[in-house]
A and B are shown apart, each in its own frame.
Chain A
């Protein structure tokens, strides 16, 4: 499978036309990571975002839960977006779980996709907004869990890993 076909196989990218998928494919680099490979290190400057093509990404904070992941991302999910939008440091560490392949979109390419053809810009912004909306919704899950537990220190509380279900 070429890059375009691999991107087309992600359901999250289904709204993109063949020409738009080609344009996205031309903007990304395919990066492979073995189990444990660190794609993003918390605290680093954000220079790229990623789309999972194959495998799983575990997201963690070094100083929380001994670095154990708090969520996992699968095929078609994007990660590393926040730093590219607000230009702050990476807020979490993203590691490969097993053999994982991602499409890497550099910060420069990310910016270019915001000024390309109107249709591509729209679809790309929709992808980004949807991922952020899912991420924001997940944090609400943490809040609800903390509230519904009789007490926040209850066993298996908000520190449980929560999975992306979309």
Chain B
């Protein structure tokens, strides 16, 4: 993939990248291939890698307390792992290949190297990831915290459709758009 194609496949990221920075970022990314059923990351396990999806579809799920929530899918142009690459920690979702998937990966050490060698590209990447994270934080903050604390609302929603309620909660927090399973 050349810098021009990269900016087309990842338009939001590409918008903030000059041709030079796109080339610098591209050089820092590691191409990876995942087979059907292979996981890019697993909920609760250490994660420090950003995955830029270049082909194939992944399913995003959260599984805990015996409950699985389907958050949606991502394909070519999709980005997962934004939190982990910036603040390594446990993955907040499981991302699994639904077919052969290719990605361009950047782990936190790679981000450090990019920061040192191509500060312009690293800055553009961080700005783009911050925009995405700000969007999620605002969505979670305004829509979720108010409602999760509104016990009357929560009781009514949970009684009506607990799975649906948790699914909507999860999708807001993760920025997903898929339908509940």
Contact = CB atoms under 8 A, between A and B. Distances in A.
> Do A and B belong to a common assembly?
yes
Interface string B96-107: 000000000000
Interface in A86-111: 86, 88, 91-92
A153 B138 contact: no
B137 A139 contact: yes
Nearest to B87: A133
A121 to B, nearest CB: 5
Interface string B143-156: 01110111100110
Given A64-B149, A128-B130, A140-B92, A146 B119 contact: no
Interface in B112-166: 115, 119-120, 122-123, 126-127, 129-131, 133-138, 140-142, 144-146, 148-151, 154-155, 158, 162, 165-166
Contact of B119 (A118, A129, A151): A118
A144 B64 contact: yes
Contacts of A136: 82-83, 133, 136-137, 140, 173
Given A119-B119, A122-B119, A146-B166, A64 B140 contact: no
29 contacts: A61-B141, A61-B149, A63-B146, A64-B148, A64-B150, A65-B149, A82-B138, A91-B137, A91-B141, A119-B119, A125-B130, A126-B115, A129-B133, A133-B87, A133-B133, A136-B136, A137-B89, A142-B148, A142-B173, A143-B170, A144-B64, A146-B166, A148-B65, A151-B158, A151-B162, A152-B155, A152-B162, A152-B166, A159-B149
